[in-house]
Amino acid sequence: MAKRSGGLRFQPSGGEKKPQIPTGKKQRLSVERLANDGRGIAFVDGRTWFVDGALPGEEVDARVMGARSQIVEARSERVLAASAQRRMEPCPHARVCGGCNLQHLSAADQLALKQRSLAEQLSRLAGIEPQVWAPPLSGPEFGYRRRARLAVRWDNKARRLDVGFRAGASQDIVSISECHVLVQPLQALLPALLSVLHALDKPQAIGHVELFSGTADAVLVRHTAALAEADLQRLTTFAQAQGVQLWLQGEGPPQPLDAAYALGYRLPAWDLELAWRPGDFIQINAPVNEAMVAQALDWLAPEAGERVLDLFCGLGNFALPLARQGAQVVAVEGVDEMVERARTNAARNGLVNAHFHQADLSKPLAEAQWAEGGFAAVLLDPPRDGALELVRQMATLGARRVVYVSCNPATLARDAAELVRQGYELKRAGVLDMFPQTAHVEAMALFERSV
């Protein structure tokens, strides 16, 4: 093989390569529109800038957070000309905390952004739109989050403990004194929690802290080393004084300080209470979760005795209300522990018409005994990756109605295109505002197939 000449240099087809923009550089920008993730978009010298905290029509001074090729990621540091859409953020940490990235936008404008994002994904990726757009399901724009994780890091050089949330596009921790999106019991708990964490003798042992509010309030302390006896006593005293459960997690699963502790949440419209443990998945927004379940049941419209399949059923958030309405429910989940808790939840609520199974939902359904006999309707609530392999098999289940609950419009659109190829029509779709003050979009879609 001929030896390559080391003296030859080839000019890229696009012309001379532009110098990379260094992190930290400041740039004045005129913002033209919003991206689906809520960042402002500006254009300078052939590059596209995505700017946190900027709105269309604004002129801002921004600082570069990172750059690659023709894409620059930046954060607005000063607004020179503000949009009429801009509002003052209620939280003092909003401009630096990565937890909320849309507090500067009104609730109505946030919903409009999310609806546009869903519509664009369905149109661009699947080439479809629903016959009817459902009104968005929303609840309080603040005070909604019943579960949260606080990052904890000991800064040995500064001899300082940082407790808070990650900064946007960074591993830095923004120390917080308040958080407006937490439900009120957790907001009230925060000052005492911060105080006890800062009083620990060995805070280096703490990895993170999680907060929970449901039928009881709880604090989970994740520790990466054994807690000092004095620190454990401080945490115990704090929990007793605040009337909250204390859970600890070292190398194994979370454990309650008192074996009698129990956590749960209620679905009052169906007279249900679901038990859960730290580490289990639950929807963090109780009002929107209840509205979501009600809409799913309305769209599925199961008649008494009809067989309904609930895929990715978790603790039974949809399965138990479906059973309460009289459907014969087959519910499937991939995690053994969740399946057992779902069965226990059904039994404790006196439901005998919900049957739970563990299965790898990435595998063909034809081999599963629980799939035999077909279903009148199917509900699926998959993770962000979607459920492409499942929807490819949907027609074999015989379901006329399919309700798809999604936390990622892109994978919903991809899977919707596959359902359409199988003869389903997209009848309805709409957003679920599960995470106000963020650009995160959840959605629900109803597909029907002619018999």
Residue 172 neighbours by CB distance under 10 Å: 14
**Which domains, ranges and CATH numbers included, belong to the chain?**
26-86 (2.40.50.140), 110-140+285-449 (3.40.50.150), 147-256 (2.40.50.1070)
By the 8 A CB rule, do 66 and 75 touch?
no
**Beta strands, E only, 193-271:** 206-213, 217-223, 245-249, 255-256, 263-267
* Residue 16: predicted pLDDT: 58
pLDDT by position in tens, the chain (length 451): 444 334 433 344 455 567 789 999 999 999 999 999 999 999 999 999 999 999 999 999 999 999 998 999 999 999 999 999 999 999 999 989 999 999 999 999 999 999 999 999 999 999 999 999 999 999 999 999 999 999 999 999 999 999 999 987 788 899 999 999 999 999 999 999 999 999 999 999 999 999 999 999 999 999 999 999 999 999 999 999 999 999 999 999 999 999 999 999 999 999 999 999 999 999 999 999 999 999 999 999 999 999 999 999 999 999 999 999 999 999 999 999 999 999 999 999 999 999 999 999 988 887 789 998 899 999 999 999 999 999 999 999 999 999 999 999 999 999 999 999 999 999 999 999 999 999 999 999 999 997 6
3 state DSSP class of 19 = coil
Element (H, E) at 49: strand 47-52
Tokens standing for 190?
């925060």
Tokens 């295109």 sit at which residue?
Answer: 417
Residue type present at position 99 = G
3 state DSSP class of 361 = coil
By the 8 A CB rule, do 400 and 448 touch?
yes
**Whether 407 is catalytic:** yes
By the 8 A CB rule, do 44 and 27 touch?
yes
How do the residues of the chain divide into helix, strand and coil, expressed in percent and rounded to 5?
25, 30, 45
In this structure, the chain runs to a length of 451
* Residue 11: predicted pLDDT: 41
Residue 329 makes CB contacts below 8 A (sequence gap 6+) with 307, 308, 309, 310, 319, 322, 323, 353, 354, 355
Which residue is catalytic, options 100, 179, 313, 407? 407
3 state DSSP class of 377 = strand
Element (H, E) at 12: none
By the 8 A CB rule, do 391 and 409 touch?
no
State the distance between the two ends of the chain, measured CA to CA, in whole angstroms. Answer: 65
pTM, full prediction: 0.93
By the 8 A CB rule, do 29 and 44 touch?
yes
Residue type present at position 22 = P
* Residue 333: predicted pLDDT: 96
* Residue 4: predicted pLDDT: 39
Report d(CA 370, CA 90) in Å as an integer: 50
Tokens standing for 401?
């109605």
Q: Determine how β-strand 263-267 pairs with β-strand 59-68.
A: unpaired
3 state DSSP class of 224 = coil
* Residue 367: predicted pLDDT: 78
Residue type present at position 55 = L
By the 8 A CB rule, do 90 and 180 touch?
yes
Tokens standing for 383?
């993770």
Report d(CA 71, CA 370) in Å as an integer: 49
